[in-house]
Amino acid sequence: MSIAHRPSDETLVAFATGTLDEGLALVVAAHIELDRESRRRTREFMAIQGELLDRVEPVAMAAGHPAEKLEQLLAIPAPLSPPIEADMPAVLRPYALGPWRPIGLRIAMRRVEVPGADSRVFMLRAGPGIALPPHKHTGFEWTTILAGAYEHEYGRYAAGDFDEADAEHDHTPRVDPVEGCTCLVAMTGKVLLQGWLGRLLQPLVRF
């Protein structure tokens, strides 16, 4: 697996210190599970911050927060517990998953229940060659690719890659014409579809 896109340093630091919203942290954890380099970088950030963290009052994390699995995620080469399904990261094991539901032609979504999270977390599966409408967001859209690939104005994202988008990113994802794509997404704010087709579809968007 060749990883081309990783979380920003700021995001990995926030994950390492347990300060991310749990839904966003879950998507980061799924990427870390797949990427040795991000595990190495996260260890380095933990070491740099260790002395500072020792001086502050500790704050308890919510039970089950993905950062609680940090040492396991950073262990190399210690394996994680087996995935609950093919193409499914093991970090999803503690969370309830809804059924796959169609939301368009050859596009399906399943919700991931993350109690208390401010973000909405879901898995998205799109068939080969699907082109999603141009859109932007009023908040964050963080994505870890679990299988297959897609590409948009900012590059090609394949299995293991992390796509860190925010309100400044307008994009038009196009799914790989052979492999399709399955990904894990955490989203804050709203999706704003662009163009005439987007305006027609906007009332149907319920992410």
Q: What is the pLDDT of residues 126-168, one digit of tens each?
A: 999 988 777 777 888 999 999 999 998 889 999 999 999 886 7
- Asked if 118 and 188 count as a contact pair (C-beta separation under 8 A), the reply is yes
Q: What's the average model confidence in pLDDT over 92-97?
A: 93
Tens-place pLDDT, residues 102-125 = 987 888 999 999 999 999 999 999
All CATH 1.10.10 domain ranges of the chain, comma separated, are 9-92
In this prediction, residue 45 carries a pLDDT of 87
- Asked if 163 and 143 count as a contact pair (C-beta separation under 8 A), the reply is yes
Q: How many CA atoms lie within 13 A of 40 on its CB side?
A: 5
Q: Reply yes or no on whether the pLDDT at 38 is more than 60.
A: yes
CA pair distance 201, 195, nearest whole angstrom: 10
All CATH 2.60.120.10 domain ranges of the chain, comma separated, are 96-204
| Angle (nearest 5°) at CA 57 between 63 and 120 | 35
CA pair distance 72, 20, nearest whole angstrom: 18
Q: Reply yes or no on whether the pLDDT at 7 is more than 90.
A: yes
In this prediction, residue 156 carries a pLDDT of 96
In this prediction, residue 144 carries a pLDDT of 97
Q: Reply yes or no on whether the pLDDT at 36 is more than 60.
A: yes
Tens-place pLDDT, residues 55-86 = 556 555 555 666 665 555 555 444 444 455 66
Both tokens of residue 45? 């950030």
Both tokens of residue 189? 């704010």
Both tokens of residue 32? 């870390």
Burial class (CB in 10 A: 0-12, 13-18, 19+), 94: middle
pTM of the complete model: 0.81
- Asked if 136 and 160 count as a contact pair (C-beta separation under 8 A), the reply is no
The domain made up of 9-92 is a member of CATH 1.10.8: no
Tens-place pLDDT, residues 171-207 = 788 999 999 999 999 989 877 665 534 444 444 445 5
Under CATH, to which class is 96-204 assigned?
mainly beta
Look up tokens 């500790």; give the residue: 58
